[in-house]
Homo-oligomer: A and B are copies of this chain.
Amino acid sequence: MTKTKINADLIKERSKCTFNITELTNLIDGGAHLTEERKKREEKVLKEGIHIDQVPSEYLSHKEKYELAIKKASLMFKLLRKWQEEENTGMENYRAVLGGALGSAILEDGSPLTLHYVMFIPTLMGQGTVEQQAYWIGRAFNVDIIGTYAQTELGHGTFVRGLETTATYDPKTKEFVLHSPSLTAYKWWPGGLAHTANYCIVMAQLYTAGKCHGIHAFIVQLRDEETHMPLPGIKVGEIGAKLGMNGTNNGFLGLEHVRIPREHMLMKNAKVLEDGTYVNSPSSKLTYGTMMFVRVVLVNDMCNYMAKAVTTATRYSAVRHQSQPKPDEPEPQILDYVTQQHKLFVGIASVHAFKLSANWLWNMYNNVTAELESGDMERLPELHALSCCLKAVSTADAAQCVERCRLACGGHGYMLSSNLPTSYGLVTAACTYEGENTVLLLQTARYLVKAWQQAAGASQLTPTVAYIRRVTSGRRAPPFDSSLTGLIDAFHTVAAGKIGLCVANIEKRQKEGLSYEDAWNMTSVQLTQASEAHCRAILLLTYHEQTEMQCKNASPELREVLSQLVDLYVVYWTLQCVGDLLRFTSISERDIERLQRWYEDLLSKLRPNAVGLVDAFDIRDEILHSALGAYDGRVYERLMEEALKSPLNAEPVNRSFHQYLKPLMQGKL
């Protein structure tokens, strides 16, 4: 932490904290040794100073932003390679430094080299033969080449089967011919594709002997390794400026009859023989592994951004004073306003809720993988359904949380120096990438509708949907119980009720003559809501159970505040969803009024610990990167310091005065 003078309000807040902040930090990291490790890694990377910009990148042109991103990403890769050689560590450092909070401290608006590690190498690992791996992964890992991964096209996104790019095998030359048959077939979006990567994995429809075999992966060289010039037939460039992620160098790629050797098809699973014979792959559900990994990483990323946002907004709210509700008293800290607590505290709880849920899902995946080894694939669809809705709900909640924190900082949250707008840009992007959220919710809904139908029959239900039987069994729901577990139960009842209504509505529409697909479509608004209700139930239960487990060895002081957070989260969502509870449970108006009171009392109880709770996320100033949120609370000084970095402020009079303003004022323009 910086040694400068700390804002008096923050000193006061920290002295009021009832629990040991370090204890909570260790709990979040998963143990004191892991906190230690993280801190060492942060120190090691940040002391290099790669993250320090002379002029903040928001003042640069789009092109300069890219050039700065390349500089930083290259220096980081160099550092990582050196580190790797010195310590012979595994991938952890790469992951920690490229993704996650630390990575975003250095390349705050995305990196043009991320996909090299996040998609290019993993796809080679997952889909290349042993020989292909030996050759390509060696080159990639050593950064002799820079790769990316191109799937999405200008006209085709989440629906992968619709991709247009073709890879046609020519047995005469033993080559594949890659081709973009139309403008909408152009690859569009891959990070690093525009001006950075010289190799690319291209997903394309495989044709051999006149037959289409669906989507397969091909390695295509894009640029000359020496000159970096695009190779013949390769139309490559960037897709233009975006809401955020302007450091990622997202690109487009058109292929004009580009020939690649047969060996450049990744053939671990399916193969094309020299004569053009297609050899099918044994059914492989193993790609679930990568997908689960990506989704869990994504949920954790969301937690990092939420943690940054609530840290900033909470510290700012402790420093900022406003208004004068009582005539003769000074302006209170805005953190004392209950409306402000309402905006922030649920965000603090959300970080914990999603972090614990992501861990839980990952553990479950690992257990299920063990079952997989013995050929038992029964739980894969359940896992898939869970990861879909958890991705959708966590990204949507995180976007809302970050934006709410930004707005809670009033006008100052609108300044880029608050770092809240940039965080929002990165978080909201996740609502549409890696599967668009509405589409994902409908995938989960498909699973839930099936589960409902199974529940109506005799089949056994997988654990996370077993609650459905409560409703299908026709047993009357127990009377509403407003304890914590009663509320969590109620969410399950709601989810089951909503799924049941969807099924009934689909059937009704079918009886009226609609096809199943049309009846599904007509019900789809309700289906997404059922899917979300399912996810909320799981989240509440998981957060509660995992906190209980996590707290077993915690001090009573910490246990108390963590359980207040769980209470807050559950009661908050109960009040948000009170209409659902009124529809599907026997909750009464008196219950609701009591819950509202419970909620307000929880806000008051958490108030003295608010700053301690965000301090415990232990986000270094360099990573938080916010004038409003720094540990020392020198909010106004930092806002001014940041403003003075604007190149516009380097000159008292801008040249446009002489060119336009003065002639305008003198009637000479």
Contacts and interface: CB of A to CB of B under 8 A. Distances in A.
Contacts of A156: 322
A228 B326 contact: no
A368 interface: no
A415 B338 contact: no
B656 A70 contact: yes
A526 to B, nearest CB: 7
A331 B184 CA distance: 14
26 contacts: A59-B62, A59-B241, A60-B62, A70-B654, A74-B669, A144-B665, A145-B665, A146-B665, A154-B640, A183-B637, A184-B636, A194-B648, A228-B661, A228-B662, A237-B644, A237-B646, A239-B639, A240-B646, A242-B414, A325-B521, A338-B524, A339-B525, A403-B428, A413-B432, A525-B599, A583-B589
A60 B63 CA distance: 8
Contacts of A583: 578, 582, 589, 592
B157 A410 contact: yes
A117 B78 CA distance: 54
Interface in A642-666: 642-649, 652-657, 659-665
B648 A62 contact: yes
A640 to B, nearest CB: 7
Contacts of A431: 407
A186 interface: yes
A134 B579 CA distance: 60
Given A322-B159, A432-B410, A593-B501, A339 B524 contact: yes
Contact of A238 (B528, B578, B643): B643
B61 A64 contact: yes
B241 A442 contact: no
Contacts of A77: 664
Contacts of A523: 338, 600
List the 3 closest pairs (A to B, CB-CB), nearest first: A579-B579, A243-B421, A74-B660
B653 A229 contact: yes
Interface in A297-327: 320-326
Nearest to A57: B241
Interface in A454-504: 501
B326 A515 contact: yes
B58 A241 contact: yes
Contact of A410 (B415, B436, B579, B656): B436
Contacts of A241: 56, 58-59, 415-417, 646
Interface of A: 56, 58-64, 66-67, 70-71, 74-75, 77-78, 143-146, 152, 154-159, 161-162, 183-184, 186, 188-189, 194-196, 225, 227-230, 237-244, 252, 320-326, 331, 336-339, 342, 403, 407, 410-411, 413-417, 421, 428-429, 431-433, 436-439, 442, 501, 515, 517, 520-526, 528, 577-583, 589, 592-593, 596, 599-600, 604, 636-637, 639-640, 642-649, 652-657, 659-665, 669
B228 A657 contact: yes
Contacts of A660: 70-71, 74-75
A280 B645 CA distance: 44
A432 B414 CA distance: 9
B421 A78 contact: no
A659 to B, nearest CB: 7
A77 B161 CA distance: 53
Contacts of A661: 70, 74, 146, 196, 228
Nearest to A240: B643
A342 B664 CA distance: 49
A71 B322 contact: no
A78 B664 contact: yes
Given A156-B322, A162-B323, A183-B637, 20 more contacts: A62-B646, A62-B648, A146-B665, A155-B320, A158-B323, A158-B410, A189-B411, A194-B648, A194-B649, A195-B648, A195-B653, A195-B657, A240-B642, A240-B643, A338-B523, A339-B438, A525-B599, A526-B596, A579-B582, A583-B589
